[in-house]
Amino acid sequence: MSVKITPIPQPRAAIVPAANSPFPIRVLPGVALCVAVTLAALALEHAEAALFGRAWLEALVLAILIGTAVRTAWPPGARWRPGIEFSAKTLLEVAVVLLGASVSAATVLAIGPWMLLGIAGVVAVAILASYGIGRLLGLPVRMALLVACGNSICGNSAIAAVAPVIGADGDDVAASIAFTAVLGVMAVLGLPLLAPLLGLTGHQYGVLAGLTVYAVPQVLAATAPIAAIAVQVGTLVKLVRVLMLGPVVLTLSLLAPRLREETDEPAPHVTAGDRPKAGRLPLHRLLPWFILGFLAMIALRSLGAIPDALLPPLATAATALTVVSMAALGLGVDVRVVARAGGPVTAAVVLSLVVLGAISLGLIRLLGVA
């Protein structure tokens, strides 16, 4: 069985206008669009507070919703995509690094060695369970692996890293990325509702969000409405989960060599044109620079190298950049891809997310997270 979906236009291929112009000129329109969406989200947040006494939906979530609405009504053209990509990736990575200054050594120690082992265990079990679900629903092997790794580790980043290793074709990659984008937004909107329903503390909810939400920016958006400790713990757990990408890719490259072999029928790939060749991924794909930056900021904060007077401005800058990246995330989401992808993919991704949430709650209860 092969799941077919119209490939999503890729930002890299879309940088046609002003290709020789300076980098700031190329990204300026898209960044300006993201900032405009951010300002609209902030205005709505203030309007909520004025009308209801509090903001029920914070700017982080509103930016995603507004961006998604804009993308659905008016897909941004090639002029806007470089800046949207820059805002969604680079600005977010800078925000994550700055966020490290707000994480204290006590928060890191609160994770503990058992939680670190638990995160690795959750990722391993979730990959196996998601892969099994996908195969039972009739997904091809490569597609099932992409869905499993995307759900269990870090969404699009995991899919992009795993695809060349297993030789995934363009249709499978496009479908997997589309669903992580759409369902990731749904998780951001729905997960905060579970905190009061399940009686979770801020710490417990941070662990749950870090273990289940696909991407780092989505973790920030999902935890911000709950508590500051939820943001700190959720981000830290999520980044530890991202670090599992290296061992997973290495394991796949060793245990699944047949998946990397060329086939007689060429297949398009959304990032490389043809089916990618087997080979080793560069180190920066397995250990992103912003994770090292985040850990370095934690170390500097713990050593007292960051003056206390700088902490509030750094936190404000991290929040502002995060909201802008949320707007970019929304501008990259097309809700119509769900209808085009078909039932098996929909069921596989949704069931995998449910299983991941159940495993994560089980770990929280098993370790007695306070």
Q: What is the pLDDT of residues 34-55, one digit of tens each?
A: 999 999 999 998 998 888 877 7
- State the Cα–Cα distance between residues 10 and 88, nearest whole angstrom: 14
Q: Quote the CA–CA distance of 139 and 64 in Å, as a whole number.
A: 30
3-state secondary structure 115-138: HHHHHHHHHHHHHHHHHHHHHHCC
Quote the tokens at residue 38: 């951010």
- φ/ψ region of 265 (left if φ > 0, alpha if ψ in -120 to 50, else beta) reads beta
Q: Which residues contact 331 (CB under 8 A, 6 or more apart)?
A: 33, 34, 37, 67, 68, 70, 71, 76, 80, 84, 88
Whether 355 shows a pLDDT value over 50: the answer reads yes
Q: Greatest CA span in the chain, whole angstroms?
A: 64
Three-state secondary structure call for residue 269: strand
Residue 197 structure tokens: 């329903």
Model pTM score = 0.69
* Interval 140-160: pLDDT, tens: 888 888 888 988 887 777 887
Structure-model confidence comparison of residues 107 and 122, the more confident one: 122
DSSP 262: -
Q: What is the pLDDT of residues 292-351, one digit of tens each?
A: 888 888 889 888 899 989 999 998 998 899 889 888 878 887 766 656 666 777 788 888
The three-class DSSP label of residue 183 is: helix
